[in-house]
Amino acid sequence: MVSLSSTGFAVFGASLVAISYGLARFAFGLFVPPIRADLQLTPYVVGIIGALPLISFLLSTLVAPLAADRLGARNTAVLSGGFGVVGLGLISQAIGPITLGAGVFACGVCTGLMMPALTAAMQVLVRRSMHGRVSSVMNAGTSIGVAVAVPTVLFLDGAWRYAYASFALLAGIGVVAAWFFIPSVSRIIPSNAEPPAPINRDQWVRLAWLSVFAFLMGFVSSAYWIFAPDLVVTLGALPLSQTGWVWLAVGIAGLGGAVVADLADRNNPPITHALMLTLLSASLALLAASPGQVLLAAYSALVFGLAYMSLTGLYLMTGIRLLPGRLSMGPVLPFMAVSLGQATGSPVVGRLVDVFGYANSFSLFAAIGILVAILSPLYPRHIDHGPEEEEHEDDTGLQAAYDHQLQWVDGEEPPEIEMFESEETTGS
């Protein structure tokens, strides 16, 4: 294994996330117009296919922590990349809805396995004080991957098969890199860490509300992720190459989501949630109202990218806050809820497009988003864990949760942290 610095691992992790999340999962909507035309698919069929990677993401997320524990970080990352290579390759050779669906399903498995593998590796390679910052950089890889997909549309007009073949090649390079740069140890556990406290009723209630909001946001956003490029081509008669600018705007604006989420976590999450969900809904309505104007479409994409990434980041922070010390559960539940909402919304919007058309369908989803935003005062606030937590009041993110787990019963940090590893070692 080649050792990486904290900065190097953050950049490397962001690259793998760009492939597994950006290219293997979210880039699909960018290529819906040529794929639908070449394979003669209806919007409803596209909606069902668009839900498959979200379903496989949910299934793989359930087993990913066990896989990272049993197989180790390196093997799990390599397995994730392998599913990416297979999935992207199948999409590039798709001859109908079955092979296309199999490809996107495999891509969803790739997405679900990658982040747990990187998290396990991060605990080995990165100092605890850097966990939050490194995680933020890696999460930004999604926006980078979405932006990277744009040149293939601009310069390979209509050649979606070549684009996905190139993505498969990048995923193959990622597999090789993961083998050399990710350690084989499965995890490191502080030997004197206090076990997380049992989840109480108040936490379950707030987690339930968080999951409901995450599900509904995923439901509303599914219209944009799957059908926005097809809308501007079909309804706005824009050239296929112009859709690339829409996805580029999503990727660029999404980079600011981490900053907004952090500010919201420190200040007023319900107000930020209402604002960002209103912006996300407005982006759908704006695109439906002006699909033929590329500048307005790009502006809509900027608003959507910022709102979506801000909301997912806020859900991540809230989940960690509600369940400090439970990194395998707190941030996972809202992300599963978002994916479940997208998997549910994708075929629904496809059917609505078949019956009512793009403009009415997007407007309906925008209205649903506004109604959910009105309910934002119910968004779960932080739980007061007692006076012993006050000195850590400003700590947020993964680092705060990890530090909380290292507290002794009396609330003081242990003077010395003894670490033990699994049977494999970092040098193997």
pLDDT digits (tens, 9 = 90+) for 30-66: 788 888 889 988 888 988 898 888 889 888 988 887 8
Query: Apex CA 109: angle with CA 108 and CA 113, to 5°?
Result: 120
Max mean pLDDT range (51-55, 282-286, 305-309, 412-416) = 282-286
Burial class (CB within 10 angstroms; exposed 0-12, middle 13-18, buried 19+) of 199? middle
Cα-based torsion angle of the residue sequence 158, 161, 164, 165 in order, rounded to the nearest 10 degrees? -130
pLDDT in tens, 360-384: 999 999 999 999 999 999 988 765 5
pLDDT at position 327 is 55
Give the integer Cα–Cα distance in Å for 250 and 228. 11
Mean pLDDT for the stretch of residues 281-309: 86
Q: Tell me the residue type at 3.
A: S
Model pTM?
Answer: 0.74
pLDDT at position 401 is 46
CB atoms within 10 A of CB 390: 10
Asked whether the beta carbons of 182 and 117 are under 8 A apart, the reply is: yes
Averaged pLDDT score across all residues of the chain: 78
Alpha-carbon Rg of the chain, whole angstroms? 21
Mean pLDDT for the stretch of residues 156-161: 75
**Alpha helical stretches, state H, 235-331:** 243-254, 257-266, 269-289, 294-322
- Give, in order, the Cα–Cα distances in Å from 247 to each of 234, 241, 242, 298, 384: 16, 11, 10, 8, 40
Pick the CATH number of 6-192+199-378 from 3.40.50.620, 1.10.150.120, 1.20.1250.20, 3.40.50.720: 1.20.1250.20
Nearest CA among 352, 319, 322 for reference residue 338: 319
- Give, in order, the Cα–Cα distances in Å from 355 to each of 43, 265, 306, 362: 10, 41, 30, 13
Range with lowest mean pLDDT among 221-225, 230-234, 341-345, 394-398: 394-398
Max mean pLDDT range (24-33, 330-339, 354-363) = 354-363
Asked whether the beta carbons of 89 and 40 are under 8 A apart, the reply is: no
pLDDT at position 175 is 94
pLDDT in tens, 225-252: 888 888 877 776 666 666 677 778 888 8
Give the integer Cα–Cα distance in Å for 352 and 364. 9
pLDDT at position 134 is 72
Max mean pLDDT range (39-53, 89-103, 285-299, 345-359) = 89-103
Strands (E), 13-122: none
**In the chain, what are the domain boundaries?**
6-192+199-378
Residues with Cβ within 8 Å of 339's Cβ and at least 6 positions away in sequence, in order, are 54, 57, 58, 61, 218
